[in-house]
Amino acid sequence: MFQLEAMLPLLILAFLGTPAVLTQSRYHGSETGKHFCIVAPEGEPVTGIWASLKNNILSSIRLKFGNNWSQEYGSSGRAEIEVKLNPDETVLGFSGSFYIFMHQIIITTSQPRELIIGPLTGRYVYTSYPENPNHVFRGICGYYVTGGLKGMRYLWGNVNGTCTE
């Protein structure tokens, strides 16, 4: 069961082809609306991801560091989903989809397993993996409007470093 699911990001990677698509600085979706960044404090790993959904799109997002949740960014939705990472589990990469708004986040972890946030597949797919294999997931920057999250990018860096956009 897992193997099929685990292959999905690899297939998406193969489909997207060119390495240029995977550069760190890229936003997935559009860079319109209010900008935000949620960045892990130095030395603190990301321990969870929470999102709210509205009309089948991602509406707002929060990240958890240790036992603390970050501020919520976006426009509060009606349904909520929360995924927690186990103590030794790390994020290997993200994939997902978007169209007018962000639709889906698929988190591939070291356990290994896949955690899926968002019920619908958007028209375009994206992936985000660290360029440096020693780097870990450090945060998310994005854009939102009243309708929900318009675009997002994932930050990768050293767990002991500070990470800015």
Ligand X SMILES: *[C@@H]1O[C@H](CO)[C@@H](O)[C@H](O)[C@H]1NC(C)=O
Candidates 6-14, 19-27, 60-68, 141-149; binding stretch for ligand X (CB under 6 A): 60-68
Q: Which helix (H) or strand (E) holds 83?
A: strand 79-84
Do 137 and 115 meet the contact criterion of CB atoms below 8 Å apart?
Answer: no
Cα(164)–Cα(138) distance, rounded to whole angstroms?
9
Minimum distance of ligand X from residue 143's CB (angstroms): 25
Q: Assign residue 5 a region: left if phi > 0, alpha if psi is -120 to 50, beta otherwise?
A: alpha
Is 135 an interacting residue with respect to ligand X (CB under 6 A)? no
* Range 37-56, binding ligand X (CB under 6 A): 41, 43-44
* Largest separation between any pair of C-alpha atoms in the chain: 40
Minimum distance of ligand X from residue 46's CB (angstroms): 10
Cα(18)–Cα(31) distance, rounded to whole angstroms?
22
* Range 63-102, binding ligand X (CB under 6 A): 65-66, 68
Minimum distance of ligand X from residue 115's CB (angstroms): 20
Q: How many chain residues touch ligand X (CB under 6 A)?
A: 9
Instruction: Identify which of residues 119 and 161 has a Cβ nearer to ligand X in the complex.
Output: 161
Which residues, listed in sequence order, are joined to residue 94 by a DSSP beta bridge? 107, 128
What is the binding site for ligand X (CB under 6 A)? 41, 43-44, 65-66, 68, 158-160
